[in-house]
Each structure stands twice: as structure tokens, then as C-alpha cells.
Structure 1
Amino acid sequence: MPSGGRHVTMLTEGTYPHVHGGVSTWCDQLVRGMPEVDFNIVALTGTGREPVTWELPPNVYRHWAFPLWGPVPGRRWPLRGRERRRLIEVYERFLLSVLDPSAGCDFGEGLDELAEFARAGRLSAAMRSESVLRTLTCIWTMPHLEISASQPTVHDALTATDLLEHALRPLAARIPDDSIAHAVSAGLATLPALAAQRFEGVPFLLTEHGIYLRERYLGYRVAAQRAPVKALMLGFYRELNSLGYRRADLITPCNQYNRRWEERGGAPSGRIRTVYNGVDPHAFPQAGPEPDVPTISWAGRIDPIKDLETLIRAYAIVRAELPAVRLRLFGGVPAGGEAYRTVLEKLAADLGVMDGIAWEGRVSDVARAYASGSVVLLSSISEGFPFSLIEAMSCGRATVSTDVGGVREAVGDTGLVVPPREPAVMAEATLGLLRDEARRAELGRLARQRVIDRFTLRRSVDGFRRIYRELAGLPEHPDSRVVTGALSDPWQQGHTAERALG
């Protein structure tokens, strides 16, 4: 347990410590970078049975996998009488706040009232009742709402209610009232923080990597649900996103691109502080000589948001010009992602380039993945401030990346940036670099220097150490050269120790 005073509850969704990837890497860096801080990890997962894939350091005093799916949690007996009527009234106002702006209902107030039911263990079971289903159906059929023209069905109402019930489950996740609630994404991870802030006055810190709401819109474009279901769920995520922005005590985007989204979403500019992701240049050293065969390398998670179809199509165009070029893909397939890997393999076979692609899987020495390429590519359709990019830059490799999120901020003038989902443009940029050894070398040199100057791990962790102290009500640590062993404040000890290690 914590030794006293404020500590940190880190709230994650589908990432650390159950999944590898950029956000998980960032979480692990933060936890390990501050051994003097006690961390409680509340991880929103699918079933709660997902294995822990990261070795948790000693300062993680508790880890709780909170399942979004599985059996209905809480008390099973139905609400009755006055309690039932109150829930229906609250739920009706909550739905109107999402679906009908003209109704004048406040989303935040509705969410707070639903949180009371969730914390009492009554919400999930109650949302399975016929009266709750009927409430949604009645609102959907109001003539002045566009949704009514889509003729919502009972099946739509069942689907939407089920999705919403699962999405609201994190309201029941209680966190210590003497902690700082640090949600490392917007959306569902903010629900326990919003409730703890409302009921116990817990400070709420929000860090956003990819833009959560934008990624929900991208995901629902290809979702199987009908329009009424999508309208409800996207409306819910939109209102939740905006509420998180407005209520957070401090928002720490990892780039200026995210900051602009957050300001448009209602975040007060005075409560936003950009803290860039960082890497350790010693862990990602200068890569050295390029491979003998011209090679494109990529590292990441085999996931649709990484848009590896564009990467493979670009590779096919490059290979038509330079038949010797090879593509090496380093990265694991997340649980449930096997179908996407099959899609990619079929695409490569259809394009006749399967024999030039090496599927390397996840590797422990990621620096070797970047070193194995002449050029490193990133083809994502959504990113925050991607680790794979600044890691490759630290290794001194020239990069071609899609213009999403904070990519342009990371690269500056040390790499090439192209529009997303345009394989021909990506191929042209890649060919230009593969044909110009001197330019590759110069861009690689500049890229590594940019990381050293701006995006080191020490700079990033120090930024959050100061923020934690601020939210905990502790005075800012003076920049002194006091010997670590002479310090009585554990937060101060870690700060000075890290500076000494440099």
C-alpha cells in the first residue's frame, strides 16, 4: 500500500498491462521512471481474464483488471417503486442529453446520477429491464428526431441498450480517495475518474495519445450496427469526451495536434499542458550500417488503425521499380486480430509480393527492427505521438510517415511526411530515399539529433513528476544537486536520482 499522501491510480482501456503497444510502452515508462511513486493500475479489459503481458515493477502496489463484458455485475434483484421510477427519470434525461440537444438536459448531471446507481451495484441489472428498453424506444420515435426516420427496431433498441450498459460499467470502479486519478485515454477510462472527482474530490488528470473520439468514428464507419445504434453510441462518446475535457483538472496531450482537438471539444486552454512522449537514446542507439539488400522496415501492432494495406500496396509499387527491395514487418497480432493478418496476407498474395515480405512477429530488441531497414515506414490512419517513429529517429534511420496526429511535430524536417491512405505517394517518397544514400544518411543524422534535443524519456518523465506533485498539493521540487540519500521526500529522491543518472 502507499506509504502516505497522494498516490496515483492509472486508468487504462485495452492497453497496459495486458497488451503491448505504444500507449502501454508509455505507461510502463512512466511507472518505472518514478519508483518513488506508488501506482494503482485499474485496467478496463474485455473479460477480466486477459493475461498480464508486462512485468509490473514493485511500485505498482495493486492491479485490478475491470471487465467490460462477461456476467452482469452487482446486485441482481430488480429496482422497485420509488427507486425504479427515479432510475427511469434519470435514464430518460441522460438519453435526451445524448440524442436531443433541444431538450436542455445535462449529460454530466445524468452521468453523475447513473454513477450513484452503479456504485450501489444496481445499474447494470436495472438496464436489462423492459422499462429501460421502452424508454429508449419512446425517445427514438419522437417525430422531431432524425433517428425516427431510420425506423429503429426492437433489435436496435436491444443492441444499443446492451452496448450502453457495458460502456457504463466502469462507473462502478471505485478508486482510492487519497489518490490522483490519471486516465491515460479519453472515453471509458475517464468514467471512474469522473465519479471519484465528483463524489470524493479526487484530482483528475487526463492524458490523450490518439484522439479517442476520432477513433470511435473511424471504428463505427465499418461497424455492423444500424444507424440508430451508431447515432446513440457516437452521441454518448461525443458527450463523454467533451465532459472529460471540461472537468479534468489538467489535460496533458502528447502533441499540439491533440491540444487543438481538445480545445475544440470544450477543454479550457489554461488547463492543457503538452508533454511529448520520449525515448532513451541509449536504448535506441545509432543503428550503424544499413542492410546489404535495400529494405523497408515497419514496427508496431498488426491492427487496422495502422493501415498496413496501404503499406503493402506502397511496397508493391516500390518493388516494381526496385525488384530487390524487401519489406520486414515487426509486430505482434493482438487478441482477436488474426482476421486482419489474414486480410493482409491475401492482399500481398494478390499483389504478387508475398515472397518479399517477412512477418517477423514481436521482438524484444526493437532497435534491431529499425536497424534492419534502409528506410522505416509508418502508415497509420490515426496516431498520437508514435513511439515507433521517434524510436526509429533515435536509431538514425530516415523515415516516411503518414501525416496524422503528432507525426509532423515529431519529424520536423528530418523525414518525409505523406497523406494517409495514398500508397502511390508513399511509394514515391520511399523510392526517392532508397535511391539517394547520402540523403538517407543526412536525414537519419538530423532525426537522431532532434530526438536528443527534444524527445528524451527523462524530459517526459520529469514533466509528469512535476504534474503529479502539483496535483498532490506538494511544492515544486527545487532544482538542486542534493545527494539522494539525504532527502526525506520520496518524490524528491526519485527526481534527483533520475537527474544524476542523466
Structure 2
Amino acid sequence: MSTKIKVMLITEGTFPYNGGGVSTWAQTLCNEVSNAEFKLYAINANFEQKPKYHLSDNVKQIIQVPLWTPDEPYDYMSYGYAYYKTIGRKEWTSKQTINQDFIPLFSELLHFIYGEQNEIKNLDATFYKLWLYFEDYDYKETMRSEPVWEAYCTIVSSYVVSENNPTASLLDLTIGMRWIYRFLIPLAITDVPECDISHVTISGFPIIPALIANYKFGTPIILTEHGVFIRERLLAINSSEYPFFLKNLLIRFSEAIARLSYYKSDRIISVNAFNKKWEVLYGANPDKIQVIYNGVDHNLFKPLEKPEHLKNIPTVVALARIFELKDVLTMIRSCKVVANKIPEVQFLVYGDDQAVPEYTAECLALIKELQIESNFKFMGPKPNPHTLFCEGDASVLTSISEGFPYTVIESMSCGIPVVATDVGGVKEGLDETCGFLCKPKDPEAIGTALISLLENREMKETMSINARQRVIDYFTLDKFIKAYEDAYKTIKPLKRASNLLKTEIFSIN
């Protein structure tokens, strides 16, 4: 029996501690891929006590890195360092060392973020040198030192003035430095496991542990792009109430990291064709890009009888984590459109409604304002999602950004037609024979499409048959698994000696 390929799977805020489409994808990958075993590198906001998912025997280790805890990650768990080395790093991190060895690197990073027309290979070289520095010196002692704060204020202020921005306050500068500190925390965890492949699930800051493995062991990198990180980051930033300085910092830093992610990845796997134009826009080599659609177990997600208590009630089902990107507010407004025509309609929304309590409160307030408390109900997270779609006559998705959502193909596999927003790769899964595509943030169009399905039995039955057949033809689990097994086989031989990588990186100067 051949030895399995060792994969470090790097996630952010998803598997194995939180739900959602990326977690479904990761769970499927870890459970079903037969030629690989996994070490999970999970970046979270907070320290999590236990996984949400049952992990298969293919998962050999979990490394958890909490970014936003009051203490440092290594205060919560061990990362394999000997105690003497941890103490030594703190003692060796003197003000002289920071000024002499770190400030030039930190300055390179800031000038790259704010500068124009920088070559991405220069950022690669900067991260290589940052990794070498933190192999020997303490992250917290360095990043919270007076020389670093002074260098940050001096460099950033010079760019702020040049952009004629009068609004950057001391508080803005402080928050900006705090963000940089948190985003770069994985640089403090230099003892990453040696694997055959690093597999990153987002083209953002989780690239850092993959970079370390690449510099240290020559480990090749696969990036799977779900929703495009930089696109979703731009949407979130532009709709935020941050002052210009902070928006500008977030956008510039995120764009730099996205470019670096594409540059360093040996293979970029997109869950849809839509993502490719964004990837190429930020420097991805088109020859590296491959589309692998998500797959569903059509023998599990199959048509079932509608539950007795709902048989005579027009019902719309949604499976969604309740937060801004899913635009549940538009879903609520579409429910009002439907209820005006079909007063007895029920919208049953399954998913985590405590992920962003402020947003859930806003949703509940809108439900009350529209007087549809009896029509629109948050059902909370439930097991066995393959049974939930069959409670509905239709399902709905109102996201403002998506990759290739499982909820669409799972619903289709159950023979339930879908009304969804035309974002990301949704239209690559859902066509006009299986449901309706609508513009984002258009509750009138979404509601009207749902009314058509709920009132036209013949249309619903035809779309039901077409939806299931489309999944069987294009989006089954076996197609998904074989594609990733093939990808791992072709990427593994790219592992190179770390001294060769060092030569390549420094040959650019």
C-alpha cells in the first residue's frame, strides 16, 4: 500500500470549529480523499475548546492559532518549542536587536503596502526575512516595542500626508498597528509541521504558515479559492464605518497579501469559473488556475416526502449562517413580498443565528417592523441537513457574495428548486431549468420568483426533476474527490530543498 500524501490544511474561522460551506468542503475532503492524510492548521478569532465536527482518522493533528485573544496563542497551547528556547527568545530580543535587525524588515513591509508598482517577489523576500527573524526572536517583545511603534508612525504618516488625508488620528494609528500585529501573529508560530503539501483555503493572511513551510521545507502550496478573499474584503470594508485611514490600510494590506498568495501558490483551485477574473486581476498566472466544483453525495441528499405538518403549507427553506454576507435582511424583505400574496407562507431558516448577534438583532427588528413574525422563523442550527431541504417547496439564497454554495447543489440534489442571487459561481450550478437567478439586494424579484414556484405546481415539479439530474450529471461527490486526489498527486513532486528556495528568493536583490 502506497504512503499517503501528507497535507497541512490551513483554514481561517471555519473548519473544524465553525460551520459553513468551507467547513462542509473541508470535512468532505478530510473524510473522503483516500490518498492523503491531514494536519489541520486552524486560525480562529478565539481559542476553541473542541472541534464542532467529528474528525476522521485521516486527521492526524490540529494546530490552533487564536488571533484575537487577550493573551498570545502560545499562552493557550504548546507549539512544540522547548521552554529554554521560549525564554531565550524573550531575552535575546533587545532594543538594539529590534533596531538593527527588525526595523529594516518592518519598514520594507510598510513601504510595500503603501508604495506603488512594487514587484510581488520583493514582498516574498521580505516575508522570508521576517520568518528568519522570528525563528530567533520574540514576536510580542518585538511588535510591541517603542522602535516599532515609532517606525510605523513615521512611515505611515508620510504616506497619509501624501494622500492628503486629514482624518488620521492617534486612535486610527493605534487601531491600524493593532490590526497589523494580529494579522501577522502566525509569524510567531515558526514550528510548522513538515508535510508534502500546504493547502490554503483562502487567499488572505492564512498564507503565512504555508509560506513558513515553503521557506523551511520547500513545501509546495495549493490554494483553493471559495469566495474571492479580496472581493469579499473590499465589499466589507467599503460598507464599513471605518475612517479613510483604516479602510485604506485594510485594502492595501489585503491586496498585497492576495497578490502574494497567488504568486506563491503552485496550483490555484477555484470552486467556480467566476473567480478566475479576480485572480488574474491580482496577478495569478492563468496557467496555474483549475476549476473543481464542489460535489454532493446525491445518495444522501435525495428527494423525500415533505413532513406531514407542512404538507399543506407553502414553505421556503434556507440554510445559512446569519451574518452580513448572506444578506438575510433581503431574505426577510422577500418574505414580506411573498406573504402579501400568500399569507400562510412559512420561511424556515436553519443555521447559526448567534454568529453575529448584532446582525441577528437587526434581522429580528426588521421582521417585527414588517409584521411577519408568523411567517419568518430562525430555526437555529440542526443536524442532518439532507432532511431539511425537503421541508420546503423551494429554497432561497440571498447572499451578496458566494463561491459555489453547497446549499444550492444540496437543495437541487433533493429535488427542491432554488431561488438565488446571481453572485459568484451560483449560475454555474443553477440554471433556468432548476430555479431562478435574481440580482442581489432585490427582494421584489426574489419574492416574485418564489411566488411563481409556490403557485405553479407543474413548474415546480419540472424544475425538481431537472435540478436533481443536473447534480447527478455534474456535481457528484465522486467527481469532486477524484479531482482533488489527482491534484495532490501532481503537486507532491514539486517539493524542493529549502536551500534552493533561499537561493531563488535572494537572487531577486
| TM-score, structure 2 as length reference | 0.88
| Aligned counterparts, 1:320-335, within 5 A | 320-335=340-355
Are the structure 2 counterparts of residues 420 and 464 from structure 1 closer, same or farther at C-alpha, using a change threshold of 3 Å? Answer: same
1:191 aligns with 2:208: yes
**Kept in 2: contact 1:251–1:273 (CA 8 A):** yes
Q: Distance in 2 between matches of 1:451 and 1:12?
A: 27
The aligned counterpart of 2:301 is 284
Aligned twin of 1:252: 269
Whether the 8 Å contact between 1:177 and 1:201 is mirrored in structure 2 is: no
Matched, 1:95 2:115: no
Give secondary structure in 1 for the equivalent of 2:374. helix
Pair 1:269 & 2:286 matched: yes
Tell me which of 141, 166, 176 is aligned to 2:157: 141
- Given the alignment, which residue of 399, 406, 409 partners 2:425? 406
Distance in 2, matches of 1:115 and 1:229, equals: 26
**Relative to structure 1, is the Cα distance of residues 144 and 339 closer, same or farther in structure 2, using a 3 angstrom cutoff?**
closer
CA distance 1:48–1:119, shift in 2 (3 Å): farther
Match of 2:507 in 1: none
Q: Which amino acid in the other structure matches residue 183 of structure 1?
A: V
Matched, 1:118 2:143: no
Task: Quote the Cα distance in structure 2 between the aligned partners of 1:153 and 1:320.
Answer: 49
Kept in 1, the 8 Å contact 2:354–2:360? The answer is no
CA distance in 2, matches of 1:14, 1:380: 19
Distance 1:202 1:428, change over 3 A: same
Asked if the contact 1:255–1:385 (Cα under 8 Å) also holds between the matched residues in 2, the reply is yes
Identify the range of structure 1 (125-134 vs 52-61) with the bigger mean alpha-carbon deviation.
125-134
Where does structure 1 lack aligned partners over 5 or more consecutive residues? 475-502
Q: Which amino acid in the other structure matches residue 43 of structure 1?
A: A
Please name the residue that 1:421 is paired with.
441
Whole-angstrom distance in 2 between the partners of 1:142 and 1:199:
35
**Does residue 1:375 correspond to 2:394, yes or no?**
yes
The DSSP-based 3-state class of the residue aligned with 1:141 is helix
Contact 1:118 1:124 in 2 (8 A): no
1:51-104: CA deviation from partner (whole Å, max 9, x where unpaired): 310111112111111111232456445433255223111111210111121677
The one of 133, 138, 153 aligned to 2:169: 153
| CA pair 119-224 structure 1, distance change in 2 beyond 3 A | farther
Which whole-Å CA distance do the structure 2 matches of 1:428 and 1:119 have between them? 59
Kindly provide the amino acid, as one letter, of the partner of residue 133 in structure 2. Answer: F
Corresponding residue number in structure 2 for 1:215: 232
The verdict on how the C-alpha distance between 1:145 and 1:101 changes in structure 2, with shifts beyond 3 A counting, is farther
**Partner AA of 2:372 in structure 1:** V
Q: CA RMSD in A?
A: 2.2
Change (3 A) 1:341 1:450: same
Moved more, 360-369 or 100-109: 100-109
Secondary structure of the structure 1 residue equivalent to 2:418:
strand
Q: Which residue of 2 aligns with 1:311?
A: 331
Correspondence 1:295 to 2:295: no
Counterpart contact for 2:98–2:147, Cα < 8 Å = no
What corresponds to 1:499 in structure 2? none
CA distance in 2, matches of 1:76, 1:166: 19
Alpha-carbon distance in structure 2 between the residues aligned to 1:148 and 1:88: 26
Are 1:177 and 1:196, in contact at CA under 8 Å, matched by a contact in 2?
yes
Q: Which residue is equivalent to 1:171? A: 187
Q: Which residue of 1 aligns with 2:406?
A: 387
Cα distance between partner residues in 2 of 1:308 and 1:246: 35
TM value normalised by structure 1: 0.89
Q: Supply the AA of the counterpart residue of 2:105.
A: V
Q: Bigger relative contact order, structure 1 or 2, given CA contacts below 8 A and separation 6+? A: 2
How far apart, CA to CA, are the structure 1 residues paired with 2:352 and 2:16? Answer: 15
Amino acid at match of 1:20: G
- Write the distance in 2 (CA, Å) between the matches of 1:291 and 1:304: 32
Secondary structure of 1:101's match? coil
Distance in 2 between the 1:131 and 1:250 partners?
A: 39
**1:455 maps to which of 475, 482, 495:** 475
Distance (Å, rounded) in 1 between the aligned partners of 2:272 and 2:334: 28
Task: Tell me, in whole angstroms, the C-alpha distance in 2 between the residues paired with 1:369 and 1:136.
Answer: 52
Residues 318 and 252 (structure 1), Cα distance of their counterparts in 2 relative to 1, 3 Å cut: same
Q: Which amino acid is 1:98 matched to?
A: I
What amino acid is aligned across from residue 367 of structure 1 in structure 2? Answer: H
Which segment drifts farther, 36-45 or 132-141?
Answer: 132-141
**One-letter amino acid of the structure 1 residue matched with residue 321 of structure 2:** R
* Secondary structure of the corresponding residue to residue 149 of structure 1: coil
Q: Which residue in the other structure is 1:22 paired with?
A: 21
Q: Distance in 2 between matches of 1:144 and 1:425?
A: 43
Q: What count of residue pairs does the alignment treat as equivalent?
A: 472
1:28 Cα shift?
0.5
1:433-462 CA-to-partner distances (Å, cap 9, x unmatched) read 222111111111111101000001111011
Provide closer, same or farther for how the CA distance between residues 278 and 288 of structure 1 changes in structure 2, counting only shifts above 3 A: same
Could you tell me which runs of 5 or more consecutive residues in structure 2 were left unpaired when the two chains were aligned.
75-85, 495-509
1:62 aligns with 2:64: no
Question: Are 1:359 and 2:359 matched, yes or no?
Answer: no
**Structure-2 change in CA distance of 1:121 and 1:316 (3 Å):** farther
- Match of residue 130, structure 1, among 146, 163, 182: 146
